[in-house]
A = this chain, B = another copy of it.
Amino acid sequence: MTPTIKDVAAHAGFSIATVSRAINAPHTVNPVTLARVREAIDALKFIPSPLGRQLRGERTRLIGVVLPTLANPVFAECLQGIDELASAQGFRLMLMTTQYDAQRERHAIETLRAQRVEGLILTVADADTHPLLDELDADGPLYVLMHNDTKRRPSVSVDNHQAAFDGVRTLIAHGHRRILMLAGTLAASDRARQRHAGYAQAMEQAGLTPAPALEIDFNTAELAPSVLAHLTSGPSRPTALFCSNDLLAMVVMRGLRRARMRVPQDMSILGFDGLAVSELLAPPLASIGTPNGEIGRSAWQRLMARIGGEYAGPSLGLTLPHTLREGGTIAAIANVTHSGSLQRARGSIVS
């Protein structure tokens, strides 16, 4: 069906060894021969099979990517960043998604490993305690984590704790005292925990009492009535919400609107992810931004460095700067300092 090196050899009237050399080391072969071989290659539309090479023990030039989902633009953007560099450098990507499921994480890694990928770029639910990663450390292939903010393993991420801390401090600076954190299905993930810890620290430092994160299943794109009640009723209702990701923030925002609450006048909202789309809302969503494309590209570069053996230094976790996008969804509480400035200037600052 598809022509092989053998067909080319026959067509050109040389041995397969010569054809191989003509392809991989053109300078070592007689120009006339070379020309004839190339003719044959063109005539047959021959493309060397990576399979042969790979099997021969050469580099597979294959990198595995394991992501929770592509439904969240955060990961799609990371993948986009990886793909940019990968295709520029002649690597192929093998993609698997896990839906935050440990079982599927295991399966993905095993599959990729079987495929003899040269390296792995992955985002897992919980990096620190993951036995699979220990296995990878021991038996390869080399890997780099994305968005898993851990000091124990090679990773590229923002400082989730610090980022959440900064964000919540901003809310506090706007006079908010009853601030609630909302988390999605990632509640079991290390990221969510770190963000909650940052929230808690900011609260305590201001003499406020942190609450446990309110877990929300937002797959339905609708807010449960019970949740809504929790957010809107009573004098002790929160005046600001810190959402563990932008998608969740958007759903919440719409839910509140339906309940006739105004954002930000009646409720301030801060997201996490800094999605481009969330900035297109009206008002633009305030959000802690992560440089997703850059995270993908950095992860790629670190992986390549590790593969190339250039990996140096004990700094396993690379921390990229997060940003704080002060959109229009944060208002100052009237009876405190910033009164009046319901809508802050837009723009983002690097923290």
Contact = CB atoms under 8 A, between A and B. Distances in A.
A279 B258 CA distance: 13
A76 B70 contact: yes
Would you list the 7 A-B pairs with minimal beta carbon distance, nearest first?
A250-B280, A47-B114, A76-B76, A70-B76, A70-B80, A277-B277, A95-B95
Contacts of A92: 94, 96, 111, 115
A76 B83 contact: no
Contacts of A254: 280, 282, 284
A80 B69 contact: yes
B47 A110 contact: yes
Main secondary structure of the interface of A (DSSP, over half): helix
Contacts of A49: 114, 116
A349 interface: no
Contacts of A189: none
Contacts of A48: 114
Contacts of A250: 277, 280
A313 B50 CA distance: 35
Interface string A275-288: 01111111010000
A320 to B, nearest CB: 19
A345 interface: no
Nearest to A285: B280
Given A73-B76, A80-B71, A92-B94, A221 B50 contact: no
Nearest to A96: B87
Given A55-B52, A80-B97, A221 B47 contact: no
Interface string A52-78: 101100000000000001110100110
A221 B348 CA distance: 15
A79 interface: yes
Nearest to A45: B139
A23 interface: no
A49 B284 CA distance: 50
A330 interface: no
A180 to B, nearest CB: 20
A93 B104 CA distance: 15
A69 to B, nearest CB: 7
A263 to B, nearest CB: 9
Nearest to A254: B280
A2 B280 contact: no
A252 to B, nearest CB: 10
Contacts of A77: 70-71
Nearest to A247: B277
Interface in A221-263: 221, 247, 250-251, 253-254, 257
A113 B46 CA distance: 11
Contacts of A43: none
A114 B76 CA distance: 26
Contacts of A276: 221
